[in-house]
Chain A
Amino acid sequence: MNARAETEHAGNGTRDHTANDTAGRAANDTAGRAAAFERTIAADERIEPRDWMPDAYRATLVRQIAQHAHSEIIGMQPEADWITRAPSLRRKAILIAKVQDEAGHGLYLYGAAETLGTSREELLDKLHAGRHKYSSIFNYPTLTWADVGAIGWLVDGAAITNQVPLCRCSYGPYARAMVRICKEESFHQRQGYELLHTLAHGTSAQRAMAQDAVDRWWWPSLMMFGPPDDASPRTEQSMAWRIKRHTNDELRQRFVDICVPQAEALGLTLPDPELRWNEERGHWDFGPVDWAEFRAVLAGEGPCNEERISRRRRAHAEGAWVREAASAYAAKHPRGDAAPHVPAAPNVPAAPNVPAAPNVRAGAS
């Protein structure tokens, strides 16, 4: 970071504004900045929003962070679907809090993406138009209450395995967002595990419900790590840029190794007859993932692709008048005139943790 800042200051200080020299100077600046970028990456330091970065690095990050943000937002749906049916008030509170956290994660991540020169509106438009993807896992339906537990244990577990290395990602705002997100995700994962544990040790109907959910969510969770290494064209560049730290297959293996003993502790089985310990490798061997299914889900042909994106589009379209109202009000009542003539509340302390006012920009949407 310091090295790079010095380079830039030196560049500015000696800048020569004669017309002849401008083109050559710009080329030198770019070469200097590219070298500084490479040094920062090589030193395992963070790139910050104002730093120079290659266009392709920027584009890769926008794509990855946006896709991550979209996954949080779409991922609210399968779980939110069970809030109104949660079987105890304690579970209901946990589930509402989890879905709320996911909206919060979406906010951090759109914020991180915005530091790269895009806007939340633009990214949401791309999601709604089907030009941006989100995690394939959220195209599977939540059919029973146990699915809420399986999502917590397996889906959040896979997300954490993927995301913990991102806490050291070379792009500072993304890495910092991931630190906060991973803390909350690991909390969710433990809650999901505990939910399944309760079911697995409950009535025979509850136990069957838990096993059925694990049977349906296991393979889609393994698909969350992405295509196998020999079919993942972007991995090499992302690893060189230190956006990724491990390949898809490495992370998938790590996840399987973590889950097998956890499944045993739950008293549930994983639906893979080829699962066995490999003494030589020191890892669990597992059967082949159905990549045809993965490709179909990514191509929009999964069980819930259509309803997930339709619901998202509908919420956005039906909320347009609300966002327009907020913009119109803000334009009429500039700062300091936000709440006219409303009687003050007597004897009530200020509320802690009040969320920030909606970030609706005048003229947006």
Chain B
Amino acid sequence: MGDDALILSHRLAEWAGSAPVLEEEVALANLALDLLGQARALLSLAGDEDALAFRRDARAFRNVRLVELPNGDFAHTMVRQLFFSAWQRPLFARLAERPGPFAAIAAAAGPEIAYHLDHAVTWTLRLGDGTAESHARAARAVAALWRHTGELFEPVPGLDWLDPAALRADWTAHVTGTLRAATLPVPGEPPPPGAPFTGGGRRGLHTEAFGRLLAEMQHLHRSHPGAAW
């Protein structure tokens, strides 16, 4: 989960200086910062945040593929955010209710995730039900990203009590409701866990783009072994 937040934060921060409108510079940076904060809290539970972020290779990262995919256009970024935040929200709500090391982090992240989801829903509506071009772009984004959603409902290692099917029901209700309201086609059920070529991130099997992301992210840190920053 820390890797999910870390990598999505990195992708969102790539928008800095290139957003379609000034308010979205602020909003996208806000999302990136929230997710980076979540990543730092979660990675710190597991060890040294910088060692985990900067000194693991791609095969050791456990994030879902959905978050590592290149940003594409603004519709692609917003639909990806809708899919991710609609999954993160019920997950973190459940984590917040269970005693354990995640509870405080999940509780603090709850309002952030609610904002992320609200922002993604608002833009999905605007783009889906905006102009012919924005509708077509949003529909393309939904179609392209859909196959990567099944992975969200694979069992999360270490969280055996968590019922992926329950998350899935919550996610499907929210996402399909939003897509319909946005006049966008709903592609049907997400691919089931284990469907061929739709997952693998949780096992360290990533997309080609991910290696390049890490090369950029880790280059400076790795060039100065042992240095403090």
Contacts and interface: CB of A to CB of B under 8 A. Distances in A.
Contact of B126 (A83, A326, A347): A326
* A interface secondary structure, majority: helix
Nearest to B130: A325
B185 interface: no
B114 A76 contact: no
Contact of B220 (A81, A97, A145): A145
A358 B28 CA distance: 12
A163 to B, nearest CB: 20
A91 to B, nearest CB: 6
A266 interface: no
B219 A85 contact: yes
B111 A87 contact: no
A319 B21 contact: yes
Contacts of A91: 229
A351 B22 contact: no
A49 interface: no
Interface in A316-356: 318-329, 332-333, 338-343, 345-356
* B interface secondary structure, majority: helix
A202 B227 contact: yes
B23 A341 contact: no
Contacts of B112: 351
Given A83-B13, A89-B53, A352 B111 contact: yes
A96 interface: yes
B208 interface: no
B163 interface: no
Interface string B99-124: 00000000000111111011101100
Given A97-B33, A332-B129, A339 B228 contact: no
A93 B23 CA distance: 19
B27 interface: yes
A99 B19 contact: no
A195 to B, nearest CB: 8
A343 B19 contact: no
Contact of A198 (B53, B93, B228): B228
Interface stretch (B56-64, B143-151, B171-179, B199-207): B171-179
Contacts of B93: 346-348
Interface string B19-54: 111111111011011001101100100000110011
Nearest to B135: A325
Given A89-B6, A97-B29, A338-B125, 17 more contacts: A88-B229, A91-B229, A93-B36, A99-B25, A100-B30, A145-B220, A326-B130, A329-B130, A341-B181, A342-B125, A345-B89, A347-B93, A349-B110, A351-B111, A355-B26, A355-B30, A357-B23
